[in-house]
Amino acid sequence: VSVRQVIAADLTWVNGAFAPDVEVTVAPDGRIEAVGRGGAAVTRRLRGRALLPGFVNAHSHAFQRGLRGHAERFPGGPGTFWTWREAVYQLAERLDAAAFRQSCVQAYREMLDAGITTVGEFHYLHHSARGADHAFDEQVLQAACEAGIRIVLLQAYYATGGIGRRLSGAQERFRVTTPSAYWERMDRLAEAVAAPEQTLGAVVHSLRAAAPDQLAAVHAEAARRGLPFHIHVEEQREEIEDCLAAHGRRPMALLNELLETRDNVTAVHCTHTAPGDMECFLEAGGRVCVCPLTEANLGDGLPDLEAARRAAGRLSLGSDSNVRISFLEEMRWLEYGQRLRTERRGVLVEAGHVARTLLEAATAGGARSLGIATGAIEPGRWADFLTVDLAHPALAGVDADTLAEALVFGAGDEVIGETCVGGRWREKGR
Ligand SMILES: [Zn+2]
Task: Quote the DSSP letter at residue 206.
Answer: E
CA of 231 to the centre of ligand 1 (A): 9
Which residues of the chain fall short of a pLDDT of 70?
A: 1
Q: What is the pLDDT of residue 38?
A: 72
Task: Quote the DSSP letter at residue 197.
Answer: T
Strand ranges inside 42-103, DSSP E:
44-53, 55-60
CA of 365 to the centre of ligand 1 (A): 17
Q: What is the pLDDT of residue 194?
A: 96
**How many beta carbons lie within 10 A of that of residue 375, not counting itself?**
27
DSSP-based three-state secondary structure for 343: coil
Rounded Cα gap, residues 391 and 368, in angstroms: 32
Q: What is the pLDDT of residue 362?
A: 98
* Protein residues near ligand 1, an ion, with CB under 5 A: 320
Q: What is the pLDDT of residue 39?
A: 77
Active centre residues (catalytic): 269, 320
CA of 66 to the centre of ligand 1 (A): 15
Rounded Cα gap, residues 182 and 179, in angstroms: 5
CA of 285 to the centre of ligand 1 (A): 21
CA of 395 to the centre of ligand 1 (A): 33
Q: What is the pLDDT of residue 1?
A: 54
CA of 9 to the centre of ligand 1 (A): 36
As a whole number of Å, the CA-based R_g of the chain is 21
Q: What is the pLDDT of residue 414?
A: 97
CA of 239 to the centre of ligand 1 (A): 14
Beta-bridged to residue 315, according to DSSP, are: 288
Q: What is the pLDDT of residue 40?
A: 83
Q: What is the pLDDT of residue 331?
A: 98
